[in-house]
Amino acid sequence: MFRIRAVSVVCLAVLLLVGAAGAAQEQEKITLEVVLTHRDPNVNIVQDYGPISWTQILAEEFQKRYPHIEVVFRQGTVEQVTVMIAAGIGPDIISSAAGDFVNLGRAGAFVDLKPLLERDGIDFMASETYWPPQYSAYTYKGQQFALPQYLGTIAIYYNADMFGYAGIPDPEPSIDRNTMDWEDFAEIARKLTRDADGDGITDVWGFYKRMRTNRIYYWLKAAGAEFYGNEERTVSTLDSPQAVMALEYLQSLRWDSQVMPPAGITPSWAAGEVAMFEDGSWQLVNFLGLDSQGYPKISFGWNVMPMPIGPSGQRATMATIDGYAINKNTKHLEEAYQLLLFLAGYEANAIKAKYLALQPAHRDVVPEYIGLMQELNRDVADVNVHVFTDAGPYAHPQLLYAQQDIANGLLNEAYTRIFDNREPAGPVWSDMVSRLNTVLASTGEMSELEIVTWQGRDWRTRDFGSAGNGSAKAEDGTLTISASGNDIWGTRDGFRYVYHEVSGDFTATVRLDSVPDTDPWSKAGIMLRLFESADSAHVSVLGTLSNGVVMQERPVTGSASQTAGRTSWTSGSPVWLRLERRGNRVSGYMSTDGARWTHLATVTVDNIPDTVWIGPAVTSHSVGRLGEATFVNWTLEQ
């Protein structure tokens, strides 16, 4: 039975929106769609398994307050949502997580909630309804683009049976009494790592964790590292001895003591292949209760312990930034706003805690979290679930730099080199942070406009997105473009462009003589672009260092890129590239001799203006690293 409080925001919203019950019955019936990108509506922790959908419970609870509104939940991906929003459509509410979700909000894909909240006299920061660092993660340039969904933290799941077999006492669950530090943790992991049959192959690993961006930063924090040099987060302070210390510690667990599996091996904790497993409270739903056949999801004794104490003398863990946002394209803004308040409110937090074991984001539900879970699952009483809620004081939101998508790429590159390839942590990390700060210093859509004269005309040239310090020069008919940038791909491009306007139908051709040698996917070629922005729609034919010639398009500004066509070609030899526009159809071609042409693809560009941009484009596919491409024999026929 969920309490409906007199001061509840949801109750006030009911009065504002529908007034008397009779008035609600006269309102037009509408349907609101919610897309879940990280959650299965049919998974739950119920001890006695049954066909229970927590999303159906949420929808029914909301409809009690708004009888004229039907709520439909469905699963989807961030990529699908991005394309739909860019096309002017999509669900009313998006339930998503992590950097991609925040990047969409920062890019203006969601409704700014601040005017609506101020209108209704709601100040979640002042009331501290949500944990302030999590709430502020959804704030950008004075706008509030989302509300928290839940507050997940990370701890160590452990196989209690394996601890018993190894003669290791169960760890102390209280953070006040648990004194386990990194050295102690490594020693326990060593004792739990076993080659059971003596064949020289590890059968049980002592410890496993994901070794990528959003699962490393809190280890750096526990060592004493800091992340940001200013409030705008355009400066990284990660190049520190403390950060390197943490990286070397994790590297040693994999390579020196070998208590962690090598890259490419993912042991299953549930199957008994690893003794200790680092993950979040959101995994409880996969471990508590029965499966669809009526068997326990976990067949051995298990429990949870706090993260170990780092060299700084402090623990550190993740605080999730999962949230709810309103699609800027919704046709039912007021109703979607009320649904958003409900989903982020007391009642919905209680439902998700009860059925999903999700840590509440709403502070009033936190004291009831464990009790709500126990209503449906008797085993909760045997699990130290409080370890997750106790972690709040040392939880830190995920890294969010001004260009987090670029930062993720650089961080993962460094992690691969350090953890997978065993390269020295210090030099690799220092190089990564230097490149990251180069990108952050140029944060913005594009660099200052420059002019280069080539083949008898003036061309515009500038860097877009993550590219910086690029240049273009023409000499004796050859155009040399020096460029960095993460890629011409995804929803935003990082590249150097040399371009001019062209109206109507045309055929543009150029010979590409060299591409950057910075990455197998470095690209150089000819590009038609609709707008001067990093996320603009475009059609391009590009030669790559090691992957042939590709024809790519971003059909709608802000949407994901697509490969329209591809063919083989060996870089080092010249290749002719061509784009041909006829109305809203654009065709791409390539040739190895300038006479015989291979058709790559023809795409339709909806809403293409009469006048577009055309010219050579280059990306090094390596942020902060410049690479050169050369072009000759440009022709434009109209």
pLDDT of residue 400: 87
Average pLDDT over residues 500-524: 97
Cβ–Cβ under 8 Å, residues 479 and 513? no
Average pLDDT over residues 363-371: 92
Put simply, whether the predicted model's pTM sits higher than 0.85 gets the answer: no
Q: Which of 615, 462, 445 is nearest to 539 (CA)?
A: 615
Tokens of 288: 């508590």
Average pLDDT over residues 290-309: 89
**Beta-sheet pairing, 317-319 with 395-397:** parallel
- If 0-12 CB within 10 Å is exposed, 13-18 middle and 19+ buried, where does residue 94 land? buried
Q: Which of 25, 49, 52, 24 is nearest to 40 (CA)?
A: 52
Question: Is the pLDDT assigned to residue 40 strictly greater than 90?
Answer: no
Using DSSP, state whether 514 is helix, strand or coil: strand
Tokens of 77: 């991906």
pLDDT of residue 441: 80
Average pLDDT over residues 162-190: 97
Helix (H) or strand (E) holding 577: strand 575-582
Average pLDDT over residues 11-20: 46
Distance from chain centroid for Cα 20: 43
Q: Which of 130, 147, 149 is nearest to 138 (CA)?
A: 147
Q: What is the pLDDT of residues 545-572, one digit of tens each?
A: 999 999 999 998 888 899 999 999 999 9
% of the chain exceeding 70 in pLDDT: 95
State the Cα–Cα distance between residues 118 and 120, nearest whole angstrom. 5
Cβ–Cβ under 8 Å, residues 46 and 38? no
Q: What is the pLDDT of residues 585-629, one digit of tens each?
A: 999 999 999 999 999 999 999 889 999 999 999 999 998 899 999
Average pLDDT over residues 463-489: 94
Give Cβ neighbours of residue 202 (< 8 Å, ≥ 6 apart). Answer: 193, 194, 195, 258, 261
pLDDT of residue 443: 60
Average pLDDT over residues 211-219: 93
CB atoms within 10 A of CB 625: 17
The HSE-up count of residue 246 (CA atoms within 13 Å, CB side) is 27
**Beta-sheet pairing, 30-36 with 93-96:** parallel
Tokens of 568: 């083989």
Most confident of 405-419, 455-469, 482-496, 575-589: 575-589
Question: Is the pLDDT assigned to residue 59 strictly greater than 60?
Answer: yes
pLDDT of residue 15: 45
pLDDT of residue 13: 45
Chain position carrying tokens 């059925």 = 355
Does CATH number 3.40.190.10 belong to domain 154-319+394-439? Answer: yes
Mean pLDDT of the chain: 91
Give Cβ neighbours of residue 465 (< 8 Å, ≥ 6 apart). Answer: 445, 446, 485, 486, 492, 493, 494, 495, 534
Chain position carrying tokens 């050169």 = 628
pLDDT band per the 50, 70, 90 thresholds, residue 50: low
Tokens of 332: 């039912």
* φ and ψ of 115, to 5 deg: -60, -35
Cβ–Cβ under 8 Å, residues 341 and 108? no
Question: Is the pLDDT assigned to residue 5 strictly greater than 50?
Answer: no
CA dihedral 216, 221, 225, 228 (to 10 degrees): 80
Q: Which of 446, 435, 439, 368 is nearest to 403 (CA)?
A: 439
- If 0-12 CB within 10 Å is exposed, 13-18 middle and 19+ buried, where does residue 448 land? exposed
Q: What is the pLDDT of residues 565-595, one digit of tens each?
A: 999 999 999 999 999 999 999 999 999 999 9
Question: Is the pLDDT assigned to residue 365 strictly greater than 90?
Answer: yes
Distance from chain centroid for Cα 582: 38
pLDDT of residue 82: 86
pLDDT of residue 49: 53
pLDDT of residue 562: 93
State the Cα–Cα distance between residues 65 and 42, nearest whole angstrom. 24
Residue type, 355: Y
Tokens of 67: 């009888």
Tokens of 412: 């993962």
CB atoms within 10 A of CB 130: 22
* Radius of gyration, CA atoms only, the chain: 27
Question: Is the pLDDT assigned to residue 526 strictly greater than 80?
Answer: yes
Asked if 9-148+321-377 and 445-637 have one fold, the answer is: no
Cβ–Cβ under 8 Å, residues 14 and 55? no
Q: Which of 613, 567, 610, 571 is nearest to 590 (CA)?
A: 567
CA dihedral 396, 401, 404, 406 (to 10 degrees): -130
State the Cα–Cα distance between residues 358 and 563, nearest whole angstrom. 38
Helix (H) or strand (E) holding 159: strand 154-159
Q: Name the E strands within 230-311.
A: 274-280, 302-305
State the Cα–Cα distance between residues 204 and 352, nearest whole angstrom. 34
Which overall architecture, per CATH, does domain 9-148+321-377 show?
3-Layer(aba) Sandwich (3.40)
Q: Which of 631, 618, 634 is nearest to 514 (CA)?
A: 631
Tokens of 297: 């999801």
Cβ–Cβ under 8 Å, residues 317 and 395? yes
Using DSSP, state whether 187 is helix, strand or coil: helix
pLDDT of residue 429: 98
pLDDT of residue 48: 60
Q: What is the CATH code for 445-637? A: 2.60.120.200
Residue 80 or residue 217, greater confidence: 217
pLDDT band per the 50, 70, 90 thresholds, residue 360: very high
Residue 33 or residue 10, greater confidence: 33
**Domains of the chain: which residue ranges?**
9-148+321-377, 154-319+394-439, 445-637
Average pLDDT over residues 301-324: 96
Q: What is the pLDDT of residues 68-98, one digit of tens each?
A: 999 999 999 988 898 899 889 999 999 998 7
Tokens of 138: 């959804």
Question: Is the pLDDT assigned to residue 524 strictly greater than 60?
Answer: yes
pLDDT band per the 50, 70, 90 thresholds, residue 491: confident
Most confident of 127-141, 360-374, 508-522: 508-522
Cα–Cα distances (Å) from 628 to 438, 454, 617, in that order, read: 18, 17, 11
Q: What is the pLDDT of residues 229-284, one digit of tens each?
A: 998 888 999 999 999 999 999 999 999 999 999 999 999 999 999 999 999 999 99
- If 0-12 CB within 10 Å is exposed, 13-18 middle and 19+ buried, where does residue 24 land? middle
pLDDT band per the 50, 70, 90 thresholds, residue 378: confident
Average pLDDT over residues 97-125: 91
Distance from chain centroid for Cα 415: 17
State the Cα–Cα distance between residues 542 and 576, nearest whole angstrom. 10
DSSP 162: H
Residue type, 385: V
Cβ–Cβ under 8 Å, residues 588 and 600? yes
CB atoms within 10 A of CB 7: 6
Average pLDDT over residues 6-15: 43
pLDDT band per the 50, 70, 90 thresholds, residue 286: confident
Pure H helices in 193-226: 217-222
